[in-house]
């Protein structure tokens, strides 16, 4: 009789640093949703990581809640996946301390995100050891796979090195996590500055579509999105970054390839094409927005409480095992 193999574990984290936007949804969350059927998933709101950039207290509290709302609205089902706040489990910080002994200062100095972020936030130790906490997030639940964007692959590589060193020095307890690359999400660019990633930064509101934007706002943002010179719709990221971005967005929300999408729209004028993209975006986003707006803060706190209770079970097990290995 064949036995069913246990599901592999997926872990990913998202910072609660503001409204979720189309870039997050198409780049990551849609993928998180898909993975629920094949994996045992942990989705963590990494509020300890966000302290490295000194967020405002009240904003942070609301952003944490709104981030879980976004996850649920996109289709992450708290009955299937474990959704929780990182700071509700002390296990992350405790394992991080332990793992810091398996990581070299030189390795942390080479992290490109540290170099970038320290220009804005200073060279404090939190920012410096950020990747070790991230390793602890992943290893505390013994994750097999981690869906992350390109900007996080260096951190994941370090996690693998840390896990390997621990396993070699003590005992093989950690699986070596790999990047989940099932159809990596679309890289959505700003509608106003298509050479830069769509982001939550407040100076590019017009270039970013938020989960809370109503239909009119979506239409307005599409209308004012930059197109490129010429009038022919073609996929050419270098010379037509604006149009190419809209093509990618359209392909992603209609679950088609860029080639297929291009075939369907190639004869359109820029103006009609933008209207078409905004219609499709409205059909895609309005049901998500409706769920989002219907979720109360109270409901979210209940989801996170149940999530952290479930997450605590595996985190406890791992920490006991780690401490046994170390003799503490
Ligand atoms: N550093 C990740 C980011 O900024 C967030 C994160 C924290 C994370 N811990 C994680 C992602 C663990 C994956 C796994 O996007």
With the most atoms of ligand 1 within 8 angstroms of its CB, the residue from 17, 67, 155, 181 to mutate is 155
pLDDT of residue 80: 97
Could you identify the atom of ligand 1 that is nearest to the CA of residue 11? 14
pLDDT of residue 204: 84
Query: pTM of the predicted model, to two decimals?
Result: 0.94
CA distance 278 to 222: 6
Average pLDDT of the chain, as a whole number: 95
Q: Considering the chain, what percentage of its residues have pLDDT values greater than 70?
A: 97
pLDDT of residue 302: 98
Specify the residue for token string 């938020």: 210
Mean pLDDT across 221-237: 92
pLDDT of residue 5: 79
Q: Which residues are catalytic?
A: 117, 197, 200
Specify the residue for token string 């392909």: 251
Answer yes or no: are the C-beta atoms of 219 and 277 closer than 8 Å: no
- Which residues are near ligand 1 (CB < 6 Å)? 11-13, 15, 46, 49, 134, 137-138, 146, 148, 152
**Ligand 1 atom 8: residue of nearest CA:** 13
Q: What is the pLDDT of residues 134-191, one digit of tens each?
A: 999 999 999 999 999 889 999 999 999 999 999 999 999 999 999 997 665 678 999 9
Ligand 1 mean position to 12 CA, how many Å? 6
pLDDT of residue 2: 57
pLDDT of residue 184: 55
Q: What is the pLDDT of residues 198-226, one digit of tens each?
A: 988 777 889 999 999 999 999 999 999 99
pLDDT of residue 183: 60
If pLDDT is split at 50, 70 and 90, which confidence band does 230 have? confident
Ligand 1 mean position to 258 CA, how many Å? 28
If pLDDT is split at 50, 70 and 90, which confidence band does 1 have? low
If pLDDT is split at 50, 70 and 90, which confidence band does 18 have? low
Answer yes or no: are the C-beta atoms of 184 and 218 closer than 8 Å: no
Answer yes or no: are the C-beta atoms of 84 and 304 closer than 8 Å: yes
3-state DSSP helix/strand/coil % of the chain, to nearest 5: 60, 10, 30
CA distance 242 to 265: 15
Answer yes or no: are the C-beta atoms of 69 and 293 closer than 8 Å: no
């Amino acid at each position: 009789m064949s036995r069913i193999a246990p599901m592999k574990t997926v872990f990913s984290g998202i910072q609660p640093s503001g409204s979720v936007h189309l870039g997050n949804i198409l780049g990551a969350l849609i993928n998180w949703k898909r993975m629920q059927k094949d994996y045992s998933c942990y989705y963590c709101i990494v509020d300890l990581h966000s302290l490295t950039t000194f967020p405002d207290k009240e904003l942070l509290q609301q952003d944490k809640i709104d981030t879980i709302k976004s996850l649920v609205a996109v289709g992450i089902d708290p009955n299937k996946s474990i959704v929780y706040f990182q700071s509700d489990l002390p296990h992350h910080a405790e394992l991080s301390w332990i793992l810091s002994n398996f990581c070299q200062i030189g390795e942390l100095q080479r992290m490109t995100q540290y170099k970038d972020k320290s220009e804005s936030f200073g060279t404090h130790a939190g920012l410096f050891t950020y990747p070790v906490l991230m390793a602890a997030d992943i290893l505390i639940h013994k994750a097999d796979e981690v869906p992350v964007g390109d900007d996080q692959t260096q951190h994941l590589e370090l996690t693998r090195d840390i896990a390997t060193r621990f396993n070699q020095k003590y005992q093989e307890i950690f699986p070596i996590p790999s990047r989940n690359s099932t159809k990596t999400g679309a890289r959505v660019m700003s509608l106003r500055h298509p050479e830069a990633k769509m982001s939550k930064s407040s100076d590019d509101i017009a270039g970013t579509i938020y989960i809370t934007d109503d239909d009119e706002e979506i239409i307005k943002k599409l209308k004012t999105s930059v197109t490129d010179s010429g009038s022919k719709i073609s996929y050419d990221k270098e010379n037509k970054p604006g149009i190419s971005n809209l093509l990618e967005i359209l392909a992603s929300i209609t679950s088609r390839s860029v080639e297929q999408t291009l075939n369907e729209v190639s004869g359109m004028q820029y103006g009609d094409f933008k209207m078409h993209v905004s219609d499709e975006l409205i059909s895609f986003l309005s049901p998500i927005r409706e769920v989002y707006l219907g979720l109360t803060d109270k409901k979210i706190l209940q989801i996170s409480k149940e999530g952290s209770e479930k997450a605590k079970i595996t985190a406890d097990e791992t920490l006991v095992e780690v401490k046994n290995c170390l003799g503490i």
